[in-house]
Structures are given as C-alpha cells and as structure tokens.
C-alpha cells in the first residue's frame, strides 16, 4: 500500500484541493490584472482629456498670433509684397494646432495609440460629455474659419490683384494658405473677434474639464472597487485555504484516529476500533487495523485459554509431584524400617559367632549383608535429603566449630582407609576458622567431595593421564578467608573458601554445565545424588559451590564458599 501511495485516492483528493486553490489564485490574479489595466486605460483617457485644455489654448494662441500677423501686415506698407504677404500670413502653425486638437478628440472617443499612450474607446455613458466638447470645438473651429480665416483669404485675393506684375495663383481650400488684406476695416474686424475667441475657447476647456472630472470620478470609483475586489479576493483565498485545510484534516482524520487507537493497543486496551467509511487506502488501513486488533484479541483469548489449561495441567503435575515426593518419603522411611533390624541382627550374629564355630564363607556372607545394608541405608537417607532439598524443608542444626580442625579429621578418616591417593591439606593462612553451621551436613559435603576426588584420581592414575610423578596420586586441599558482598548490600562479609584439587580425569564437557543437578554423573558406580545434595546443603547455608577443570588439563578443582556467621 505504501508503494502505491503516490497514486492513492487520498493523494488525488489533496491534489484536487490544491488545484482548486491554484485556480482561485490564478483567477484572482487575472481579474485583478484586468481591472488594473482598465484603470490604467481610464487614467490614460484622463490624460488625453486633460490634453484638450493644452491643445485648445494652443489653438487660441496660434489664432491670436495669426490675427497679430494680419494686423502687422496691414499697418506696414513695405510688407505689401507677395513674398511678405505669404510669409506674414502663413497659417501652418494654426492649421497644425487645429488638426492636433481635432485628432486628440477623435482618439479620445474611438481609442487607439497617441503619444505612445494606448487608449480604449470612451465608455458609452461618457459619449454625451464628449459630444458637448465636440460641439463646443466645432463652434470654436467654425468661428476661426468663417470669421477670421475666410475674410483674410478674400482680402488677400484683392491685395494680390492690385500689386503690379503679380501672377494670380489659385486659392487653396486648406487653411495652411492664409493671405493678408490691405484694408484697415479688416484689421479692425479681426481685432473685435478676440473676446469671442476667448469665450469659445473657454467653453471647449470647460466642457473638457467636465469630462476629466467624470473620468476622474470613474477612476476613483474603480480604485475603490479595485481595493474592494482585492480585499474580496484575499478573503476568498483565505476562505479557500481554510476550506482546504478543513478537508485535508477531514481526509487525514482517520490517521489521527489510527494513531490514538494504536496508542490504546500499546497500553493493552484491545477494545478499540476505527470507524471510517469509504474505499480509499485509509479505509482499507482502518479495516486492516480492526482486523489486526480482532486477531490479537482472538490470539490473546486462545493464549488465555491455553494458559488456563496449562495452569490446570501444572496443578495436576504439582499434585502428582507431591504424590511422588510423598511416595518417595514413605518408601525411604519404609526402607529404613527393615534396614535397622537387618544391620542390628547381622552385627549380633557376627559378634556371637566364634572363630571356630563360624566358617570363613559364613563370615564373608555376613560382611556382604552388612555392607549392602549400610549402602541401602545411605541411599534411603539421600532420598530423604533430596526430598527435603526440593521442598526447601532441609533443617540445619547450626553450631560453632573450627572448620580447619573438622577438615583435618575428615582427611584423616579417609587416609585411614589405606587409599592409594595422598591427600595434602595446605597450611592455611588463618587458623582456626570458626564457622556457625550444621557440622554434620558440612562434613557430609566435604566427605562427598574428597571421596569423589579420590575416585577420580585413582581412575586418572590407572589410565596413565598423569605424567608428573609427584602429582600422580596427590589431592590438595586449600582453605582461605575472603570478603564478599551479599544480597546487594554494600557491607562486606567474610566467608571461608574451600578448594579441593584432584589429579583425576577431569570433568566431562558434556555434563559440566549440569554437574550439580540430580542424577547427573559419568561414573559407573555413582548415583549422581551426592553433588546435588552437596549443592543443596551449601546453598541452604547461604554459600555457593562450583567446579572447573584445572588449567593444565589434569584433573579438576571443586570449590565451595561458606559464610562466617558469628
């Protein structure tokens, strides 16, 4: 699902919303640019309409200049020549100013490009105002043509006819050829036209100013509308963004729900579910999540059921184990009951029989009976000890005694059996070492370890694994005092450490890790109970027991520690 996330319906939805936002922004930009351009065109129209004032004044000025030229020509007799008349009454500038104003009015109405300014046609609602300007301009222009230009053309023709040698030329219809007159009446008449000219020019300027005012009002209204439009589009854009955020949040809401549900599941609450309708990936994810939670619930229910069944089976096993222990205890006790009279009566028979009346064969039989009865007695005692150790009911009769002295006595007893192995007790650094422990149980542990060391050393001598002659049949016993930390207490306590190093065959790697567990042995004669019992006794005293092969590869060292309790 994650590999196809880029083509998911969720991405499509978000992408669609983004496209809408981009479209709104682009449309807003285009509309604002359009209205801004319209306002620019309107501003250009204002400039052109305002230019009418300047052009009207220019026409008025050129007309005054034209009148002044005529007056100068008539007042100076020397100027009554064809060349001076032509130069004095040249009306090119007046004609240009009239054409410029006329062209400016046409561009203002129809639009186009003038003076590098692009204009739009004048709006319909302003055509009436333009018509007023045009009417005022026609009156002004007609007055110039009929009252000033035309009389001057007539006088020019008369003057040219009176000049000797003059070649008559055709009169042009264009206002660019304006002749002079020679009569004072014409000059006086032209002079009286100046107030009228000013009045007509003022009308054109006034009507032009009215159009400029209207255009200015429209521009102000458009400016306000543009500001309102910008604010409106800003509000619309913000609303669209907020709407998109709302839809995105709505689209992604299942993710938050899934996150919360996952947190609840992490806390162990499986009574959660995610409800999401639709056919997109989030709906499938919600459905998968609900299915997963249901699977976990089913698995937990099954596990609980299996755990319940396992508890029942465990209770049954415990009950059967108790029955087994009870049976072993009863069997061990029952074994001890006949063993005592067997040993006792056998000893009595052996003591009553004289050497003469007892055959050698009978004596051997009695010895076999006594030996096996004692062995059976020891086995039953071990079985009882194992039961106590497993049930943590092993009772310790603590007493204070000299550990080193006790160790020497046990070594002496084993030596008195004329073993082939030498036992050397290294002189301890601390002597005596007084401990508070169960003397009989500790003696049992030491005897068991020393007996095993003797048997192992004998086997090592027999198979020739010992090469150093001085170590071939020697067992070394060491005792030291050391400090240790118990039960995470910062206070140190002293303990005695006993090490018994033999030169036997060593510990088989197959059983080294489980050496002190029950029934674990490689010996053909051992039962595998002695080390298990020794471990239980030492740990009941708060000590530790362990074993390891010697570093030289010859034999093993069995060690145990015993707390020194005052």
The answer to whether 481 and 494 have CB atoms below 8 angstroms apart is yes
Range list of β-strands (E), 230-355: none
- Looking at 1.10.287, 1.10.1060, 1.10.10, 3.30.70, the CATH number of the domain 278-393 comes to 1.10.287
Mean pLDDT of 44-65: 83
Does residue 497 surpass a pLDDT of 60? yes
Does residue 124 surpass a pLDDT of 90? no
Task: Give the C-alpha separation, 497 to 495, whole Å.
Answer: 6
pLDDT digit string, tens, across residues 150-171: 777 776 666 666 655 544 443 3
Task: Give the C-alpha separation, 468 to 250, whole Å.
Answer: 88
The answer to whether 516 and 531 have CB atoms below 8 angstroms apart is yes
| 140's tokens | 């002004």
Q: Mean pLDDT: which of 125-139, 211-225, 247-261, 455-469 is highest? A: 125-139
Mean pLDDT of 93-121: 83
Task: Give the C-alpha separation, 278 to 258, whole Å.
Answer: 15
The percent of residues above 70 in pLDDT, for the chain, comes to 76
Does residue 558 surpass a pLDDT of 90? yes
Q: Other CB atoms closer than 10 Å to residue 562's CB: what's the count?
A: 23
Topology match between the domains 278-393 and 396-563: no
**Mean residue pLDDT across the chain:** 77
Task: Give the C-alpha separation, 482 to 561, whole Å.
Answer: 9
Q: What is the pLDDT of residue 455?
A: 85
pLDDT higher for 255 or 31?
31
pLDDT digit string, tens, across residues 359-401: 777 777 777 887 777 777 777 777 777 777 777 777 888 999 9
The percent of residues above 90 in pLDDT, for the chain, comes to 9
Does residue 487 surpass a pLDDT of 60? no
Domain-wise residue ranges, the chain: 17-224, 278-393, 396-563
| 370's tokens | 């006594």
What CATH class has 396-563?
Answer: alpha beta
Mean pLDDT of 508-536: 79
Going from the C-alpha of 462 to that of each of 203, 355, 450, 474, the distances in angstroms are 150, 37, 18, 14
Q: What is the pLDDT of residue 178?
A: 39
Q: Binning pLDDT at 50, 70 and 90, where does residue 71 land?
A: low
Q: What is the pLDDT of residue 489?
A: 56
Q: What is the pLDDT of residue 181?
A: 39
State the angle between helix axes of 127-143 and 194-266 in degrees (0 to 180), rounded to the nearest 10. 160
* Antiparallel, parallel or unpaired: β 422-425 and 474-485: parallel
Mean pLDDT of 11-32: 81
């Amino acid at each position: 699902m994650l590999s196809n996330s880029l083509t998911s319906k969720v991405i499509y939805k978000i992408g669609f919303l983004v496209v809408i936002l981009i479209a709104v922004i682009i449309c807003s930009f285009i509309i604002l640019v359009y209205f801004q351009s319209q306002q620019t065109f309107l501003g250009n129209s204002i400039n052109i309409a305002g230019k009418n004032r300047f052009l009207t004044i220019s026409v008025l000025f050129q007309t005054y200049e034209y009148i002044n030229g005529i007056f100068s020509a008539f007042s100076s007799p020397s100027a009554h020549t064809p060349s001076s008349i032509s130069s004095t009454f040249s009306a090119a500038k007046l004609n240009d100013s009239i054409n410029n104003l006329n062209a400016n009015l046409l561009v203002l109405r129809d639009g186009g490009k003038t003076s590098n300014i692009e204009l739009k046609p004048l709006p319909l609602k302003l055509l009436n105002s333009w018509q007023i300007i045009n009417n005022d301009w026609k009156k002004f222009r007609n007055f110039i043509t009929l009252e000033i230009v035309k009389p001057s053309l007539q006088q020019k023709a008369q003057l040219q006819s009176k000049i000797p040698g003059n070649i008559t030329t055709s009169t042009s219809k264009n206002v660019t050829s304006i002749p002079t007159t020679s009569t004072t009446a014409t000059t006086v008449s032209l002079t009286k036209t100046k107030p009228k000219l000013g009045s007509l020019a003022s009308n054109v300027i006034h009507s032009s100013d009215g159009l400029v005012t209207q255009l200015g009002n429209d521009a102000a209204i458009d400016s306000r509308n543009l500001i309102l439009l910008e604010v409106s589009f800003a509000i619309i854009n913000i609303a669209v963004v907020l709407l998109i955020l709302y839809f995105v949040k709505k689209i992604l809401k299942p993710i938050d729900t899934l996150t919360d549900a996952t947190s609840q599941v992490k806390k162990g609450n499986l009574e959660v579910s995610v409800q999401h309708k639709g056919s997109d990936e989030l709906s499938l994810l919600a459905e998968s999540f609900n299915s997963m939670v249901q699977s976990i619930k089913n698995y937990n229910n099954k596990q609980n059921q299996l755990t319940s069944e396992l508890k029942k089976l465990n209770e049954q096993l415990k009950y059967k184990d108790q029955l087994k222990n009870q049976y072993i205890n009863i069997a061990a006790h029952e074994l001890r009951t006949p063993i005592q009279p067997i040993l006792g009566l056998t000893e009595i028979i052996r003591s009553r029989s004289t050497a003469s009346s007892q055959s050698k064969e009978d004596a051997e039989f009695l010895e076999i009976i006594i030996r096996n009865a004692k062995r059976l007695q020891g086995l039953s005692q071990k079985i009882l000890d194992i039961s106590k150790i497993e049930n943590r009911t092993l009772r310790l009769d603590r007493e204070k005694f000299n550990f080193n002295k006790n160790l020497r006595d046990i070594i002496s007893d084993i030596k008195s059996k004329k073993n082939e192995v030498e036992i050397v007790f290294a002189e301890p650094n601390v002597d005596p070492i007084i401990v508070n422990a169960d003397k009989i149980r500790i003696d049992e542990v030491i005897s068991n370890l020393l007996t095993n060391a003797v048997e192992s050393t004998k086997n090592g001598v027999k198979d020739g694994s010992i090469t150093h002659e001085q170590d071939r049949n020697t067992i070394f016993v060491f005792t030291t005092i050391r400090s240790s930390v118990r039960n995470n207490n910062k206070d140190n306590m002293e303990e005695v450490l006993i090490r018994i190093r033999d030169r036997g065959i060593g510990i088989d790697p197959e059983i080294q890790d489980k050496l002190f567990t029950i029934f674990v042995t490689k010996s053909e004669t051992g039962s595998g109970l002695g080390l298990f019992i020794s471990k239980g006794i030492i740990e009941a005293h708060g000590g530790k027991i362990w074993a390891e092969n010697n570093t030289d590869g010859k034999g093993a060292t069995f060690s145990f520690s015993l707390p020194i309790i005052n």
